Amino acid sequence: MEDAERCAEHGRRLPCAECRKLRNRRIGPSKGSSKICAVVAIGKNRELGYEGKLLWHIPDDLKRFKQLTLGHPIIMGRKTFESIVGYLGRPLPERTNIVVTRDAAWKHEGVIIASSLEEAIAKGRELDEQEVHIGGGAEIYKQALPLIDKLCLTIIDDTKEADTFFPPYDNQFTKKVFEEAHEWNGLKYRWVDLERA
């Protein structure tokens, strides 16, 4: 096997697993796949949460999250899923909940389990040709950011102590397709939808 062809970039035997991963990540809606979207609320410093809980509970923002994700698969990490179940008492209704976990023994009724983000996206795309949503938490957002086509952000004009943050996105998502200002109990926030230019 010494004569096996090798990848010029990674030095691995062909077919190169690294190249395959990168190629799969680049496959997007232009190839007939579902659009990958993330609907997320962040503070001024991209704060997401603290000790497994959301930092803000703005009723209209929660309604917007439901409206945008309803009927579509939503991918999240196990901790985020368990936080939602702790808050709602059940998985997100009227959406296919896909949970990414490394724990092969973990199960939950009515949930699709994936061992990686790539597997979760593939399962989501099998179910929905239009959109697959990324629902967090921070590590899932970080892994998914290069794959996301559209961000539906709620940018809250506030800062709070946080231990999880949304990854930097400004240089990747430069095309603003929607913006709307809101206020709730004196708290100002904006809905901003961004796409890759």
**Per-residue pLDDT tens digits for 68-94:** 999 999 999 999 999 999 999 999 999
Mean pLDDT of 87-115: 96
Q: Which two tokens stand for residue 42?
A: 């962040």
Q: With contact defined as beta carbons under 8 Å apart, do 169 and 194 qualify? A: yes
Domain shared by 92 and 165, yes or no = yes
Percent of the chain exceeding pLDDT 90 equals: 82
Banded model confidence at residue 128, pLDDT cuts 50, 70, 90: very high
Q: With contact defined as beta carbons under 8 Å apart, do 69 and 94 qualify? A: no
Q: Which two tokens stand for residue 58?
A: 């703005």
Q: Tally Cβ neighbours within 10 Å of residue 80.
A: 24
Domain shared by 17 and 102, yes or no = no
**Three-class DSSP category at 138:** helix
Nearest of 107, 143, 124 to residue 25 by alpha carbon? 143
- pLDDT given at position 1: 35
Domain shared by 3 and 96, yes or no = no
Beta strands in 43-80 (DSSP E): 47-50, 53-54, 74-77
Domain containing residue 167: 33-195
Number of domains within the chain: 2
Domain shared by 77 and 127, yes or no = yes
> Taking all residues of the chain, what is their mean pLDDT, rounded to a whole number?
89
Mean pLDDT of 58-65: 97
Banded model confidence at residue 28, pLDDT cuts 50, 70, 90: very low
Domain shared by 139 and 162, yes or no = yes
Task: Provide the CATH number for the domain around residue 189.
Answer: 3.40.430.10
- pLDDT given at position 33: 83
- pLDDT given at position 169: 97
- pLDDT given at position 17: 55
Domain shared by 119 and 175, yes or no = yes
Mean pLDDT of 151-175: 97
State how beta strands 150-156 and 35-42 pair: parallel
Alpha-carbon gap, residue 43 to 46, rounded angstroms: 5
Mean pLDDT of 10-27: 51
132-149 per-position pLDDT tens digit:
999 999 999 999 999 999
Chain position carrying tokens 């001024």: 44
**Radius of gyration (Cα) for the chain, nearest Å?**
18
Domain shared by 24 and 112, yes or no = no
Domain shared by 121 and 150, yes or no = yes
Banded model confidence at residue 31, pLDDT cuts 50, 70, 90: very low
Domain shared by 87 and 25, yes or no = no
Banded model confidence at residue 10, pLDDT cuts 50, 70, 90: low
- pLDDT given at position 12: 60
- pLDDT given at position 149: 98
Domain shared by 90 and 3, yes or no = no
Percent of the chain exceeding pLDDT 70 equals: 84
Q: Tally Cβ neighbours within 10 Å of residue 186.
A: 5
Domain shared by 12 and 39, yes or no = no
Banded model confidence at residue 197, pLDDT cuts 50, 70, 90: confident
Check pLDDT > 60 for residue 40. Answer: yes
Domain shared by 127 and 99, yes or no = yes
Number of residues written out for the chain = 197
